[in-house]
Structure 1
Amino acid sequence: MRDQYQREIDYLRISVTDRCNFRCRYCMPAKGVEFVEHSEIMTYEEILRFLRIAAGTGIRKVKVTGGEPLVRKGVCGFIRKVRNIPGIESVTLTTNGALLEEHLPELEAAGITGINVSLDTLDPEKFHQITRCDDFGRVWSGIHAAAQTKIPVKVNCIPMKGCNEEELAKIATLAKEYPITVRFIEMMPIGMGTGYARILQDEIKELLEDRFGTMELVDEILGNGPAGYYKIEDFKGRIGFISAVSHEFCESCNRIRLTADGILKPCLNFESRVNLKEEMRSGMTDEELERLLKNVIYHKPRCHAFGDETKKDIQEKRRMAGIGG
């Protein structure tokens, strides 16, 4: 389905939980946050019902996120059911990687079509400083195990000044040594992320070209959204950038989001008052839900307003852990 700006909306990001086994500094405080009661989290059955309706409107690609999605019991079985919905062409997963290796056989059997692993450093000590966890070894093992499968693997890194800027070239070498894509994702000015200074895409590209040579933009479709991808000579994988602020891609944005507690969000930046879970639990029919979804898609904002103080009152105030990565 197209929105009022004629963008084809075919990608739905679903947060299945707001819980996480990490406490990343740019995501939540050291003591964590108050999680949503389990009764307020959408059930798998509710999500699947909505997905069958969404597939009928043209949703073809689904991303399963959290929190950390692998901490929710039964998530691999849920993914299998999503893959079996007529019209759904791909189901990918974003994870911090700590539980990946042990779930990998189930994910393969479920038909997962892609795995994204968040990793901001290759230094175990710095990893602990960022995540407040000592699971670097498990994450590293999970990435290696996933890279041995036929599942496309991406490593997502958030560059931060004063934190991991000296490691970006080293992290990029993962795409040189393995058939995986390394993506540098610009820090989003949401929640605790507002306290970190971004490193811009152009800076990183210049750094990588100085180290590895010319980066050539490719036309390959390597993901669900509007990321830009580059190839470098002798690299087995690709380098990607997702830079929502410095290289705004709103005109080609194809996604909507569903939070773990049932809020349907047409844009990450803005608050949404469409509580899908409440509508479903109040007895809304499939036909009514389809009309609601089409209305949300049609009225998707033209662009975000990060940094626009005149729209501060209507911008999202929840932490990323409560929205979905």
Structure 2
Amino acid sequence: MTAVPVLIGVRRPVEERAGQAAVSGPLVDTHGRTHRDLRISLTDRCSLRCTYCMPEQGNEWLARTSILTLDEIERVARVAAAAGITTFRLTGGEPLLRPDIVEVVQRLARITGPGGEPVELAMTTNGIRLRHFLPGLVDAGLRRLNISLDTLRHERFRELTRRDRLDDVLDGIAAAAASGLRPLKLNAVAMRDVNDDELVELVEFAVAHGAQLRFIEQMPLDAGHTWNRARMVTREEILEALSARWTLTPLPGRGGAPAERWTLDGGPDSVGVIASVTAPFCGDCDRLRLTADGQLRNCLFSTTEYDLLPILRAGGDAVETGIDRMLRSCVRGKLPGHAINDPSFLQPARGMNAIGG
């Protein structure tokens, strides 16, 4: 397999005096944001080829030797939890393609924070293999699920994902709805002339399955760099379409969550919108990302990565200290926002499948 080219801007830890202990305390950046959420990508592979994410053919996959082992993932997660991370979200690619996925969940679910409090473990999946793995995942400690669902129409699903797997996705959603995992969320990327005529239908489907639909504005994160702002359905357009069917009432208390939420006709059902392009929420962002090949990222759209792989594979007694220092370097380097709407914005070299959702 061919490795993704080395990205410009990969950083090593900030130089510190030899033997100096890792800085204690929470992960707070220079803009006062405390980081509590770590998205952990387990693989860049996926069982779908969504048009807004990656090409059907010609993808350059990460070298297998660069993919973090289970022990390495757990080591990073333990240091992150000690520094105040309270939520791990497992992503990909498609995390259920990882053969040891149940053991990954089991090991991470055992991690506790500085006060002994358990971490919260969530996963984002396309749902195709979910029914098979769900009992083991729940037993292992998984607590929350997000499942991607952009359309309910078979032909449209085939065109959008280049795979005929909608029935498998729907089967996975049915299994999740019957489980005790709550809140259950369904994610849909809203696209003009693709699925913008299904917005109400998708919400009705989610409500019928005890789930919350979250619409996502299409972002410049495709591996082919073909994103076009004109194809994006905006937050206001989404809300306008839904308002023709329901009375929408804003829900307070968003905090660092990416989605704004509204109740439907007074509740209890609700809908969310993640408007990274037209209504950025960077000022409250509390997320970091770990790619499948050991790169820390402080923003989904960052062009800089912080390389943990040499630290993890150097061995010795200083690995945990090195991980902690790199986490803090990554947080210190975080910018105020992603600048998508700035003329100088540069799309990340990696596609979404290689960054992690």
TM range (shorter): over 0.9
Looking at structure 2, the residues matched to 288 and 139 of structure 1 have their Cα atoms a distance apart, in angstroms, of 40
Q: Which runs of 5+ in 2 are unaligned?
A: 1-25
Looking at structure 2, the residues matched to 184 and 63 of structure 1 have their Cα atoms a distance apart, in angstroms, of 19
2:250 paired residue number:
217
Q: Which runs of 5+ in 1 are unaligned?
A: none
What SS does structure 2 have at the residue aligned with 1:211? coil
2:325 paired residue number:
291
What SS does structure 2 have at the residue aligned with 1:94? strand
1:119 paired residue number:
149
Further displaced range: 119-128 or 292-301? 292-301
**What percentage of aligned pairs have identical amino acids?**
36
- Higher helix proportion, which one? 1
Q: Which of the residues 66, 72, 91 maps onto 1:65?
A: 91
Deviations 1:20-70 (A, max 9, x none): 111111111111512112111011110100111111111001110000000
What SS does structure 2 have at the residue aligned with 1:317? coil
CA contact (8 A) 1:225 1:255 kept: no
1:317 paired residue number:
349
2:62 paired residue number:
36
Q: How many residues are paired up?
A: 321
Q: Which of the residues 259, 281, 285 maps onto 1:253?
A: 285
Further displaced range: 165-174 or 283-292? 283-292
Looking at structure 1, the residues matched to 178 and 342 of structure 2 have their Cα atoms a distance apart, in angstroms, of 45
Q: Which amino acid aligns with 1:179?
A: G
2:242 paired residue number:
208
2:174 paired residue number:
144
What SS does structure 2 have at the residue aligned with 1:166? coil
Residues 249, 234 of structure 1: alpha-carbon distance in 2 compared, 3 angstrom cutoff: closer
Q: Which amino acid aligns with 2:290?
A: L
Looking at structure 1, the residues matched to 38 and 307 of structure 2 have their Cα atoms a distance apart, in angstroms, of 16
2:16 paired residue number:
none
Looking at structure 2, the residues matched to 43 and 96 of structure 1 have their Cα atoms a distance apart, in angstroms, of 22
Looking at structure 2, the residues matched to 262 and 105 of structure 1 have their Cα atoms a distance apart, in angstroms, of 29
Q: Report the CA distance between 1:245 and its aligned residue.
A: 1.2
CA contact (8 A) 1:52 1:85 kept: yes
Deviations 1:246-288 (A, max 9, x none): 0110000010101111110001111223111122213452112
1:93 paired residue number:
123
Query: How does the TM-score come out when normalised to structure 1?
Result: 0.94
CA contact (8 A) 2:256 2:285 kept: no
Tell me how large the CA RMSD over aligned residues is: 1.8
Q: Which amino acid aligns with 2:298?
A: P
CA contact (8 A) 1:154 1:180 kept: yes
Q: Which amino acid aligns with 2:192?
A: K
CA contact (8 A) 2:248 2:266 kept: no
The 5-angstrom pairing of residues 72-221 of structure 1 reads 72-87=98-113, 88-152=118-182, 153-191=184-222, 192=224, 194-195=227-228, 197-212=231-246, 214-219=247-252
2:79 paired residue number:
53
CA contact (8 A) 1:65 1:324 kept: yes
CA contact (8 A) 1:15 1:66 kept: yes
Residue 45 (structure 2) pairs with residue 19 (structure 1):
yes
Q: Report the CA distance between 1:220 and its aligned residue.
A: 6.0
What SS does structure 1 have at the residue aligned with 2:192? coil
Looking at structure 2, the residues matched to 129 and 148 of structure 1 have their Cα atoms a distance apart, in angstroms, of 29
Residues 219, 202 of structure 1: alpha-carbon distance in 2 compared, 3 angstrom cutoff: same
CA contact (8 A) 1:217 1:231 kept: yes
CA contact (8 A) 2:41 2:292 kept: yes
Q: Report the CA distance between 1:225 and its aligned residue.
A: 2.6
Specify the structure having the higher radius of gyration (Cα).
Answer: 2
Q: Report the CA distance between 1:96 and its aligned residue.
A: 0.5
Q: Report the CA distance between 1:167 and its aligned residue.
A: 0.7
Deviations 1:206-241 (A, max 9, x none): 1111112x11112367x9733111111276532011
Deviations 1:164-187 (A, max 9, x none): 011111001123323211000111
